[in-house]
Amino acid sequence: MSPILLAIIIVTLIGFVCAAVLAVASHFMSVPVNETEAKVRECLPGANCGACGFTGCDGYAKALAEVPGTKTNLCVPGADAVAKKIAEVMGVEAEDVIEQVAFVRCSGDCFNRSERHIYKGIDSCAAAQMLYGGSGMCTQGCIGLGDCQKVCTQNAICIENGIAHVDTRKCLGCGLCAKACPNHLIELFPDVRRVVVVCSNHEKGAVVRGKCKAGCLGCGLCVRNCEQGAISLVNNLAVIDYDKCVGCGKCEEKCPVHAIKFADFSGGHRF
């Protein structure tokens, strides 16, 4: 018999034996999956984003089936529709999901920020951040190499003029981008909000001014002009108390550097 044929036969034979053993083993020794778990798993979207706090959709389904008292409204990408289905399977009352969207809390694009050095390394924010906190003067701003864009499953993030933008109408609020951002700039908030502070720099006004034209100076104009008293300055950065905010948008008009944004942030669930 020719050696080539023999070699093929041997490898094929071993492959078949392995396959047969595995097939038999998985048939006879399969562990029955909990029925509720399988049903719940079918309802979940399968994005495996981890927004629920479990390791992927399988983990959440397992927790729902086995741990009593696990909330049915934890799936953020699935939102109300999935929560309703899960509640049906579990036989409990459906709870409302708070839809969230991601937002990049920085507006230091290439027109606004000053550069300190030129970064010529691998195309990743995490890598650039390790080299003296990124190429920009402001080490608390968006690096713009798109780590968030790479992890987004919905293509909701684009890099424009060196800064990441979230298209909230595509965003499902899974929070993968928030975990990927080395500067922790991306925040998840309920998409009913209308006003956001778009700067994360806590340094003093004069220092910020030297680094970025769009950075919050901590001047307090917004604080004085807010009729509801909803804005305060914490560490030289405006912070909005959303319990008091009515979404009038006055702070946006008054902000000299446009570090407050007033817009409709409705998330992807509503479209």
Summarize as ranges the residues that interact with another protein (CB under 8 A).
3, 6-7, 10-11, 14-15, 18-19, 21-22, 25-26, 29-31, 130-133
The DSSP element (H or E) to which 16 belongs, if any, is: helix 3-28
Indicate the residue among 21 and 263 with the shorter CB distance to another protein: 21
Indicate the residue among 107 and 129 with the shorter CB distance to another protein: 129
Instruction: Look up residue 209 and give its two tokens.
Output: 């001014």
**Min dist. Cβ of residue 62 to another protein (A):** 12
Indicate the residue among 7 and 110 with the shorter CB distance to another protein: 7
**Min dist. Cβ of residue 130 to another protein (A):** 6
Q: Which of these, 250, 211, 258, lies nearest to 231 by C-alpha position?
A: 250
**Min dist. Cβ of residue 201 to another protein (A):** 19
**Min dist. Cβ of residue 235 to another protein (A):** 22
Q: What angle do CA 173, 198, 51 make, to 5 degrees?
A: 15
Indicate the residue among 11 and 38 with the shorter CB distance to another protein: 11
Alpha helix (H) ranges present in 29-124?
35-43, 56-66, 79-90
Indicate the residue among 81 and 130 with the shorter CB distance to another protein: 130
Alpha-carbon gap, residue 97 to 95, rounded angstroms: 6
Alpha helix (H) ranges present in 183-232?
205-211, 221-225
Indicate the residue among 25 and 263 with the shorter CB distance to another protein: 25
Q: What is the DSSP string of 71-90?
A: -S---TTTHHHHHHHHHHHH
**Min dist. Cβ of residue 122 to another protein (A):** 12
**Min dist. Cβ of residue 140 to another protein (A):** 15
Alpha-carbon gap, residue 116 to 81, rounded angstroms: 48
3-state secondary structure of 188: strand
